[in-house]
Structure 1
């Protein structure tokens, strides 16, 4: 075991020598490190969880175990690991446990470490598994951070373009930023593909398949391999569209709705997809209505879907949805889509408590009068029904205020909204 831990030390030291773009400020870093609570970092595979953990622990003496290492898992022994850590990482103040969900009954071991006073940082790639086990074994003893692929704002910083609105306003700079945004719509924000766009298709295809194989098929002992792949391809081809479990059952030949729901749950838990429910004040209608499906990164869509030509409108809507997640809106609590009584759709409804805070539409191209009228009519109906006055239309490059009946609709270019230039 000691030899394995020495190998982990070497791996840690290699990671520490690399340069990373900052994803957390010093104030937040201090707040997280200064608490004795377990720091749980979750998110998709390869989205940057380990990097964020390393940034949290910058200039700290910490021990490191990576549970993506089959050798460590095969030979794992609690007492031997504790002894080895103390000898290899002398006097460590923090313990980083990477991809902890791979260790069977990991929460029991973590609980023991916590009770012994070990300051823990944990990363993992399975949302439900981690949150369920943490909640049952460690209630009130942890704080959670979710790491998603790079935002557009982070992509701009990586490409060293200005973040200042007054500079972006110049035609030359705006052209550069719009070019970056178009690339971001197609390629998404996984750090490795932002660094090396040329590897996107092969890298993301391999990553997607790896999640299906390692995090779903093996972990949950799924035998219907082809049906899982068919389902994931179906969802990639129908991102931003409405679906029902029964519709998917009929389309893909599943034996039961329960199996569809179970497989969809696996895809949500591993951060490949996310769903959005329809807002309805009546709980029964809310639960029965069709849902919308979104992919966690546009790069997966480009790498794996069967689109013959890019759908700019859907790609932009998917991007806005991911950004809303990044801004901590929860699709189970305060983020929904909406249908008016006349069946007009609002892409995103943001709720705070019992109040409808804002309605958001996403429309890539509003140059055609018919398209603009459709968007404004939906706003008028929904705003009247919901008594909501904050109406935001995210477009490709238009910025102005428009009157729609008694309401005012704010049009904002996507690059400004995504670059944190406009509050939700």
Structure 2
């Protein structure tokens, strides 16, 4: 129910939006489609909408987590727009709708408003229910979806006021690697980057994910199982996990069925804090089934539940997120991992029908620190998939290895993260 005085108060309070630092995600401002910005909570979606609003005129911003707008139904969005017109004497051209998943029946009203062709509509939310596969059904082909993750390393450097030049001195390289260590350790959540109380903020985020985005949102009944799954996934980031092994572990702690484990893991992914990478196979049942590798939306989350310092796993997770950002720019890109007997390739990059690149990530600073199994796995996969574009990401070693008739490019992680041109 709309309380008019509260809505007027809301508009007055949001007349001047905070200034926002630029983000790399590019979305069309004059698209005929509804633009959907999705991503994990605290990744900066709200400030991204603020930043977009700086580029346009005649807009209105609705934050559906504001207490004055909480509990609204979709049909009331029109009434909000009319109150705006009444106050300011003009009709908005752009509608920025934040945390739209909190509005009951939002899909139908947005379809109607979009079909009028009067507004450019941008929506944002923290649920993977706003992903293109869900929105395509709800909005019936009227939307384009983009993922906004926590800061990339390039954005992190910008937040740190580090200017990237085309050429770097040795001192610049040392500073970049020092900042990369901080980035691996604490991640790229904007508020974590800005503040000194990093661990405390990350602990708050960890609890927020577990209780609000997982347990409360999905009405999870078995809190013990929910907590176990949440902690297990964080502790096992960059590792392969299977539903069967999870079920066997959980049986010792609680009475739980395998279907419940499937259901809870699916809902855990819905928080957008966890990603499950598929194993490459030409057979769809193997490609879509389990096991899968788990990655986090931000490596800082591991700071709270970590029992060893594994820079290799942190590097692998950061590189995975970089691949996810590239998918925003090229939706034909698919990412997999590959298992061949006991050999593994961290990432298979596929575009359409073509395998574009095979990638390993390892914490190495010299040639003799690169394990032979990393190289042998790449060569084996290269033969199997007929792909000669081979890449090893290291900490601080650069070279080109020639193995038989194959060349393997070796590039430090910091270079791939700041240049963003590793996919050929």
So what's the TM-score if we normalise by structure 2? 0.90
Question: What does residue 394 of structure 2 align with?
Answer: 395
Contact 1:2 1:81 in 2 (8 A): no
What per-residue deviation string (whole Å, max 9, x for no partner) do you get for residues 262-286 of structure 1?
Answer: 1111121221100111111233333
- Determine if the alignment matches structure 1 residue 240 to structure 2 residue 234: no
User: Which residue of structure 2 lines up, in the alignment, with residue 164 of structure 1?
Assistant: 165
What's 1:203 paired with?
Answer: 201
Write out per-residue CA displacement over residues 71-102 of structure 1, whole angstroms, 9 at most, x where no aligned residue: 42236561643432322344122121110001
Q: Out of 217-226 and 403-412, give the one that drifted further.
A: 217-226
Q: After superposition, give the CA deviation of every residue in 1:143-198 in whole Å (9 maximum; x if it has no partner).
A: 2221111000111122232323422xx211110000000000001111111111x2
Task: For 1:310-389, list aligned pairs within 5 A.
Answer: 310-328=309-327, 334-340=334-340, 342-365=341-364, 367=366, 369=368, 371-389=370-388
Superposed, 1:23-172 pairs within 5 Å as: 23-24=23-24, 28=26, 32-58=28-54, 59-74=56-71, 78=76, 80-91=79-90, 92-116=92-116, 117-129=118-130, 131=132, 134-167=135-168, 170-172=169-171
Q: In the alignment, which residue of structure 2 is the partner of 1:179?
A: 178
Query: Within 1, Cα distance between the matches of 2:39 and 2:333?
Result: 19
Deviation per CA, 1:45-90, whole angstroms, max 9, x where unpaired? 1111122222222152211211112442236561643432322344
Asked if the contact 1:24–1:52 (Cα under 8 Å) also holds between the matched residues in 2, the reply is no
Which whole-Å deviations, capped at 9, do the CAs of 1:180-220 have from their partners, x for residues lacking one? Answer: 00000001111111111x22222222223223333332332
Structure 2: where are the runs of 5+ without partners? none
Alignment partners' CA distance in 2, 1:214 and 1:289: 27
- Listed as ranges, the matches of 1:210-289 within 5 Å are 210-253=208-251, 255-289=256-290
| Range that drifts further, 70-79 or 94-103 | 70-79
Paired with 1:349 and 1:242, the residues of 2 have a C-alpha distance of 15
**Residue 64 and residue 347 in structure 1: after superposition, are their counterparts in 2 closer, same or farther (change >3 A)?**
same
- Structure 1 residue 256, shift from structure 2 partner: 1.8
Are the structure 2 counterparts of residues 231 and 66 from structure 1 closer, same or farther at C-alpha, using a change threshold of 3 Å? Answer: same
Does 2:1 match 1:9? no
Structure 1 residue 11: Cα displacement: 4.1
Whether the aligned pair in 2 keeps the contact of 1:107 and 1:133 (CA below 8 Å) is: no
| Higher helix content, 1 or 2 | 1
Give TM-score, length-normalised by structure 1.
0.90
Change (3 A) 1:133 1:369: closer
Give the conservation status (yes or no) of the 8 Å contact 1:62–1:89: no
SS at match of 2:23: coil
Deviations 1:273-306 (A, max 9, x none): 001111112333334452111111001111x213
Give distance in 1, aligned partners of 2:354 and 2:172.
39
Match of 2:188 in 1: 189
- C-alpha contact 2:402 2:408 (8 A) present in aligned 1: yes
Please give the alpha-carbon distance, in whole angstroms, between the structure 2 residues aligned to 1:281 and 1:257.
26
Secondary structure, counterpart of 2:221 in structure 1 = coil
Contiguous gaps of at least 5 residues in structure 1: none
When residues 127 and 158 of structure 1 are mapped into structure 2, their CA distance, relative to the original with a 3 A threshold, is same
* In 2, Cα distance between equivalents of 1:265 and 1:21: 33
Cα distance in structure 2, aligned partners of 1:383 and 1:314: 23
Distance in structure 1 (CA, Å) of the matches to 2:156 and 2:185: 13
Structure 2 partner of 1:405 = 404
3-state SS in 1 of match to 2:43: coil
Computed over aligned residues only, the root mean square deviation of the Cα atoms, in angstroms, reads 2.3
